Amino acid sequence: MDEYLDPSPEMNRNNLQSDCESCFGLCCAALPFSASADFAIDKNAGQPCPNLQADFRCGVHNNLRQLGFRGCTVYDCFGAGQKVSHVTFGGRDWRQAPQSAKLMFEVFPVMRQLHELLWYLTEALALQPAHSIHNELRLALAETERLTRLSPEALLELDIASHRGSVNTLLLQTSELVRDEASRKHKPSRGRQKSFSRSADLVGAKLKGADLRCANLRGAYLIAADLRGADLRAADLIGADFRDTDLRGANLTETIFLTQSQLNAAKGDASTKLPPLLHHPAHWTASGA
């Protein structure tokens, strides 16, 4: 179990990435989904997916998109699955100990939220322009990590919304500090830089080649937007909806709070420039997907 204990998540965000080989198929059993463009069937929370095998691996993993399970290829638990499996429940899986199944399935979404916050806080601590609030960020990181070590019962008692709110205040401050400094360095091309309100509705927006450096795109709806060749360096992308967003040739190398799940939902190709620790999804092709 000790190999899953990460005493210093600030130093290594690799520990906050999904490791399906070390998880008891929790996303495949704990979470519900409905038949839609993302899922081929209905499934209730706590009901194992029919494609989940005895070894907790997906029996159709290599063909998920072709079989109508695109949503599975987008999801990312930020390492919560292996934490719940091997730390919270000490390596006892829900098939061997069926009396633990309900509790394990209820804890998993809570842990996923905590791990997502760990991802953002760890990134914030790596951003030099936010050095003035690094102490506050370290305290928030330590407290969030402490919460992930609670018992299953204590995790279910957490006021997760309140904790997310306090962390989000720090993430907002981080965003402002980073974007302010970047905007001083990068003078936008006249008439090309765009300005948006928070949670902007940009569904299907035509933003090919747009200068989006330092933009606040927190929670923006970018579904099916055309961002080919756009420059998003230093843009805050936390919570932005990238479903079917065309990112071919876009520059996302210095974006703030981008996640693998967002990229998995988008379209792109080998020319899309990404930040460290994030990778081109397997379904992206040389010409976009």
Give the three-class secondary structure for 251: strand
Confidence grade of residue 17 (pLDDT, cut at 50, 70, 90):
confident
pLDDT at 105 (0 to 100): 98
Q: In this structure, what are the phi and psi dihedrals at residue 263, rounded to the nearest 5 degrees? A: -65, -40
pLDDT > 70: percent of the chain: 90
pLDDT confidence of residue 200: 80
Q: Is the pLDDT of residue 189 over 90?
A: no
pLDDT at 197 over 90: no
CATH number of 189-289: 2.160.20.80
Assess whether pLDDT exceeds 50 at residue 166: yes
Q: Which residue has the higher pLDDT, 285 or 240?
A: 240
Residue 191 confidence (pLDDT):
43
Structure token pair of residue 257: 């709070």
pLDDT digits (tens, 9 = 90+) for 34-88: 999 999 999 999 999 999 999 999 999 989 999 999 999 999 999 999 999 999 9
Provide the 8-state DSSP code for 35. S
On the CB side of 20, how many CA atoms lie within 13 Å of its CA? 14
pLDDT in tens, 203-220: 999 999 999 999 999 999
HEC string of 36-81? CCCCCCCECCCCCCCCECCCCCECCHHHCCCCCCHHHHHCCCCCHH
Chain segment 76-128, per-residue pLDDT in tens: 999 999 999 999 999 999 999 999 999 999 999 999 999 999 999 999 999 99
Alpha helices in the chain (DSSP H): 26-29, 70-74, 80-83, 101-125, 134-148, 152-157, 160-185, 260-265
Longest dimension (CA), the chain: 63
Say what the pLDDT of residue 190 is: 44
Instruction: Flag whether pLDDT at 179 surpasses 80.
Output: yes
At 31, list the tokens: 């979470």
Residue-level pLDDT at 7:
40
Residue carrying structure tokens 């006021």:
159
- Look at residue 193 and tell me whether its pLDDT is greater than 90: no
CA distance 62 to 80: 23
Torsion of Cα atoms, 233 then 13 then 115 then 20, to 10° = 110
Model pLDDT, residue 151: 97
**How much is the pLDDT for 4?**
35
Q: Amino acid identity, residue 239?
A: G
pTM score: 0.90
Q: What sign results for the dihedral spanned by CA atoms 236, 73, 100, 45? A: positive
For residue 289, the model assigns a pLDDT of: 56
Q: Is the pLDDT of residue 163 over 90?
A: yes
Domain coordinates of the chain in residue numbers? 2-31+75-179, 189-289
Q: Does the pLDDT of residue 11 top 50, yes or no?
A: no
